[in-house]
């Protein structure tokens, strides 16, 4: 039952987004983003999948590699853009180890 509730929680967050704080160059602002875990192909033949954490943000936000993302007590650092559909950009995230 716990797995089903966790899945439902993730679906709600993916639909409506969640509040996130973005910090870059000592400037911080609040926005809404969609944080999720996806499977991404790694390796030369794309036959090995690995889970990655990603965030979808409005394309008009000026974020770049190295920006700090905070949400729900967790912290990540933006690595690189993965997808851009013209409205949202999906960014790859790494856990902040500092």
**Domains (ranges, CATH) in the chain?**
2-95 (2.40.10)
67 dihedral zone (left: phi>0; alpha: psi -120 to 50; beta) = beta
Between CA 62 and CA 42 the distance in angstroms is 28
At 50 the pLDDT is 84
Closest of 74, 34, 70, 72 to residue 54, by C-alpha: 34
Full-model pTM = 0.77
25 dihedral zone (left: phi>0; alpha: psi -120 to 50; beta) = left
At 12 the pLDDT is 64
Please say if the pLDDT value at position 13 is more than 80. Answer: no
| 21 confidence band (pLDDT: 50, 70, 90) | very high
Cβ atoms 66, 23 nearer than 8 A: no
Between CA 80 and CA 51 the distance in angstroms is 15
Q: To the nearest whole number, what is the mean pLDDT of the chain?
A: 85
Between CA 28 and CA 47 the distance in angstroms is 39
At 96 the pLDDT is 87
| 3 confidence band (pLDDT: 50, 70, 90) | confident
At 37 the pLDDT is 84
């Amino acid at each position: 039952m716990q797995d089903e509730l966790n899945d439902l929680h993730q679906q709600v967050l993916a639909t409506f987004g969640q509040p996130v704080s973005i910090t870059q160059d000592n400037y911080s602002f609040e926005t809404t983003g969609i944080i999720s875990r996806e499977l991404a192909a790694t390796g030369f033949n794309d036959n090995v999948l690995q889970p990655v954490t990603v965030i979808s943000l409005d394309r008009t936000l000026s974020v770049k590699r190295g920006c700090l993302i905070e949400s729900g007590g967790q912290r990540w650092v933006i690595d690189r853009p993965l997808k851009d559909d013209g409205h949202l950009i999906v960014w790859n995230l790494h856990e902040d180890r500092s």
